[in-house]
């Protein structure tokens, strides 16, 4: 581990010598992640993308990609594009990336079950804004808005997210 890794610890995520409170999945941590279980997968994951809402915030990094009105994330295990960014209109189950609430105003995409997704192993494991402190996610890691921005401004593609087994 090094200071440039994001490391989940009991009191939050450590990054660049700081600790950031966070929320994890309502299903806790899991070494056997499954679609819909609400768990945050353990292991070493890499940050492979950054998305942001250009109508709400400025790009936190040059490699960030704007979220458009038709951007979706496939969560349909029968879909060939499972656990990938897709566009509307879309005939399979999906999660809308351009949400009415601010949770996905800034999203860091992990390589969990990506790029060669195994159907049913889980999709859309992101780092994003939390609803409120301590409110669990569906499996993502969530932060206070200003903390997520601070992290996004310093992170690079390939940065490791380390989630140890308990």
Q: Using CB atoms within 10 Å of the CB of residue 2, give its burial: 0 to 12 exposed, 13 to 18 middle, 19+ buried.
A: exposed
Whole-prediction pTM: 0.96
pLDDT of residue 3: 81
Q: Residue 52: give its domain's CATH number.
A: 2.40.440.10
Q: Domain tally for the chain?
A: 1
Contact of 51 with 42, CB cutoff 8 Å: no
Has residue 1 been placed in a domain? no
Per-residue pLDDT at 1: 76
The pLDDT of residue 20 is 98
Sign of CA dihedral 31, 158, 4, 146: negative
Let me know if residue 154 belongs to a domain: yes
Instruction: Name residue, tokens 């806790």.
Output: 28
Question: CA-CA-CA-CA torsion for 8, 59, 102, 44, nearest 10 degrees?
Answer: -20
Rounded to the nearest 5 percent, the helix, strand and coil shares of the chain are: 5, 35, 60
Arithmetic mean of pLDDT over the chain: 96
Residue 92 lies in a domain: yes
Looking at residue 116, its pLDDT comes to 92
Copy the structure tokens of residue 99.
């949400």
The answer to the question of residue 59 being in a domain is yes
Q: Which residues of the chain are under the pLDDT cut of 70? A: none
- Give me the pLDDT at residue 166, please: 75
């Amino acid at each position: 581990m090094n200071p440039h890794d994001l490391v989940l610890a009991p009191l939050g995520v450590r990054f660049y010598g700081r600790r950031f409170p966070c929320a994890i999945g309502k299903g806790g941590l899991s070494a056997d992640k499954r679609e819909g279980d609400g768990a945050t997968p353990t292991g070493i994951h890499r940050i492979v993308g950054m998305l942001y809402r250009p109508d709400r915030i400025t790009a936190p990094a040059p490699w960030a990609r704007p979220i458009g009105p038709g951007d979706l994330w496939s969560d349909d295990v029968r879909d060939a594009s499972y656990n990938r960014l897709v566009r509307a209109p879309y005939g399979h189950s999906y999660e809308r990336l351009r949400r009415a609430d601010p949770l996905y105003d800034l999203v860091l995409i992990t390589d969990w079950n990506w790029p060669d997704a195994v159907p049913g192993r889980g999709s859309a494991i992101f780092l994003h804004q939390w609803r409120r402190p301590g409110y669990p996610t569906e499996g993502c890691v969530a932060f206070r808005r200003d903390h997520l921005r601070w992290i996004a401004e310093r992170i690079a593609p390939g940065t490791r997210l380390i989630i140890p087994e308990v």
